[in-house]
Structure 1
Amino acid sequence: MSPFPLLRLLSHEDFRPGPQLAEVLGVSRASVSLALKGAAEMGVEVQAVKSRGYKLAHPLDWVDETVVARHLAENARFFDLHCFDEIDSTNLALMAKAHTGAPSGLCYAAERQTAGRGRRGRAWHGAPGDTLMFSLLWRFNLGVADLSGLSLAVGLAVIRALQKHGVNGAMLKWPNDIVAPGGKLGGILIELSGDALGPSAVVIGIGLNVGLRDNARKALDQAAEALHTLGYRADRNTLLAAILTELASLLPAFERHGFAPLRDEWEACHAMQNQTVRLLMPSGDVLQGIARGVSNHGALRFETPGGEQQFHSGEVSLRSVV
């Protein structure tokens, strides 16, 4: 039994007895116990008190299609949002839909991904209620080669949305990370399909740490930060609607004009602009130089003693020199 039906019955205010939960769910007490164990493994803390039952240690902030649509207002017409308790990967699911002709604007959000992926195949982890994870299908009348810089443009949409909700400490790290002084806030994964001359279908995956509990932080293999520590106080429905609203205007503009008009704004948000950095190449080689910004097509401008070179998204990783 999935833990989610049980979690949706629990609140952080009142205890509910185990027999009552089993009756409402139509399962055995043993199934309730297994669901509680599954919730703990996902990082959700449930308090248990003998003779009283169970309640959530902290409230869960559920993503809700109706609430997001209300926040989107007139922009809701651009999107078809579906929320899942659990899915293998929102990106994978939307890529499959893209291949069957699904329209632009289809959006999947999930509380938990069992096979969520970040850039270069890294796993993406998120505890229910703490992480905003969603993917958006968008179709362009452009060839795949003309979409260079799209992941950087999407990063700007995220930053714009955060700034409008009082988060001023979030910045971008080339090519597709959202960061803060304390560590990584989230990331963007772009997957493309289509013809060389167009049209093309793009699945835009975005993951953000809204909250980050100690047990989740310890499970990560890199420094991480959460929006709550940067002053974000609204719920995830508000955040999802804010990002989609920015994308509703940015993506059509990108189709018309490309990344070049966004270049200066992106560089102003780049956490490593004009800093000495290391580039970790897929071959394992390490280059040291200065991150001088990006080209009109989103390539990293990297200054070395031998002159400036340009690197495209997917070829390198960027790390500060310590």
Structure 2
Amino acid sequence: MHTRPHKALFRLLRRLSDGHFHSGQALADEFGLSRSSIFNILAQAESMGLTIHAVRGRGYRMPEPVEWLDGEVVTHYMGAEGRNYTIHVLDSVDSTNTALMAAALGGAADGTLFCAEHQRTGRGRRGRQWHSVVGGSLTFSILWRFETGLQSLAGLSLVVGLAIARAVNRHSRHPARLKWPNDILVDYRKLAGILVEVQGDMNGPAFAVAGVGLNVRLDELQRDAVDQAVVDLVEMGVTVGRNQLLADCLQELHAALNIFRQHGFAAFREAWLSLDAYAGRAVALTLPDSRSVQGVACGVDETGAFLLCDMQSILRPYNGGEISLRLDGAR
């Protein structure tokens, strides 16, 4: 859904998510709109995948309570570490990564964070769309600046994935694992995706925008819109609120980034391998030029490159591509 939501939509949704019914007339009076406008705005919410209960004589409400993102609450959960981030909560945006890339080029500071309740054109890797769900996703992007050049950023997306998996695993009995280069899986179903975009000089000032999209609660319609097997936190039995989870993600990211700035990906290799979902599995690697290579997944090297042991038992590193399990299991 790419149309811009009505400017009153999210204020209206926040009112309806308190568990109580609100009459169309009461909402019209509160928001200074006509009853027909209220009806049309809520119809737009339905087209975004939200369920609104409308009962004649009682009014409207959202069936599930929504914990809305709140920068002050996130900062409170982080304690002293909250000062490392400047958090901007956006109701609706084309893409948090696109918006933050533009802000970065305009001089936004290291530690600037955009999180959004709704993305109209969220982006995943290789130009795919990332489906975000109002109240059912955790979608955010962080800006980091580096003086050491683009050449020092190898493996950054793997470090981001590791940090997010660690944050989830604080709360989950079902361990989140990692798929090279930047997916987070539970039982081989996708829980979250990472998109890191970089810009700058090879050896001078550079910046990275790290985008994270995590499934909190998806309904059947939303699952059907995705072209792969997915899982969400609700299905995993994780009940932590989105603000606490975002705070946990930011704490893990901050700790990891401090080490990454000094030591690069090599300092994380063992930790990443311990959560590698594909280690020792027969896989096919589809390269950026669409060629496919088959072999056994053997983890990653010190730079974060994927290691594949091919049919001739030769171990080769690859810096790009997409891996998938080979169902025949042949080695």
Same fold (TM over 0.5): yes
> What is the aligned counterpart of 1:73 among 66, 74, 79?
79
Could you list the per-position Cα deviations for residues 133-154 of structure 1 after superposition, in whole angstroms to 9, with x for gaps in the alignment?
0000011121112110000011
Aligned to 1:26: 32
Question: 2: CA distance between counterparts of 1:182 and 1:203?
Answer: 26
Would you say the 8 A contact 1:144–1:192 is kept in 2?
yes
> What is the aligned counterpart of 1:83 among 85, 89, 104?
89
Question: 2: CA distance between counterparts of 1:5 and 1:163?
Answer: 33
Aligned to 1:121: 127
Would you say the 8 A contact 1:182–1:225 is kept in 2?
no
Aligned to 2:229: 223
Could you list the per-position Cα deviations for residues 210-260 of structure 1 after superposition, in whole angstroms to 9, with x for gaps in the alignment?
112222112211110012222311100000000101111111210100011
Could you list the per-position Cα deviations for residues 271-311 of structure 1 after superposition, in whole angstroms to 9, with x for gaps in the alignment?
00111101112332221101101010000001102312111
Question: 1: CA distance between counterparts of 2:311 and 2:16?
Answer: 60
Aligned to 2:326: 321
1:244 aligns with 2:250: yes
> What is the aligned counterpart of 2:297 among 285, 291, 309?
291
Would you say the 8 A contact 2:294–2:311 is kept in 1?
no
Could you list the per-position Cα deviations for residues 184-234 of structure 1 after superposition, in whole angstroms to 9, with x for gaps in the alignment?
001100010111102211101001001122221122111100122223111
Would you say the 8 A contact 1:280–1:317 is kept in 2?
yes
Root-mean-square deviation over aligned CA pairs: 1.2
Question: 1: CA distance between counterparts of 2:67 and 2:224?
Answer: 22
Would you say the 8 A contact 2:259–2:267 is kept in 1?
no
- Name the aligned partner's letter for residue 42 of structure 1: M
Would you say the 8 A contact 2:195–2:212 is kept in 1?
yes
- Name the aligned partner's letter for residue 104 of structure 2: A
> What is the aligned counterpart of 1:196 among 196, 202, 206?
202
Identity percentage over the alignment? 42
Would you say the 8 A contact 1:83–1:110 is kept in 2?
yes
SS at match of 1:187: strand
Question: 1: CA distance between counterparts of 2:263 and 2:248?
Answer: 23
SS at match of 1:274: coil
Question: 1: CA distance between counterparts of 2:297 and 2:204?
Answer: 32
**Could you list the runs of 5+ residues in structure 1 that have no partner in the other structure?**
none
Question: 2: CA distance between counterparts of 1:210 and 1:171?
Answer: 16
- Please, what TM-score do these two structures have when normalized by structure 1? 0.96
- Please, what TM-score do these two structures have when normalized by structure 2? 0.94
Aligned length: 320
Q: Offset of 1:175 from its aligned partner?
A: 0.2
Would you say the 8 A contact 1:12–1:58 is kept in 2?
no
**Could you list the runs of 5+ residues in structure 2 that have no partner in the other structure?**
1-5
Question: 1: CA distance between counterparts of 2:237 and 2:59?
Answer: 34
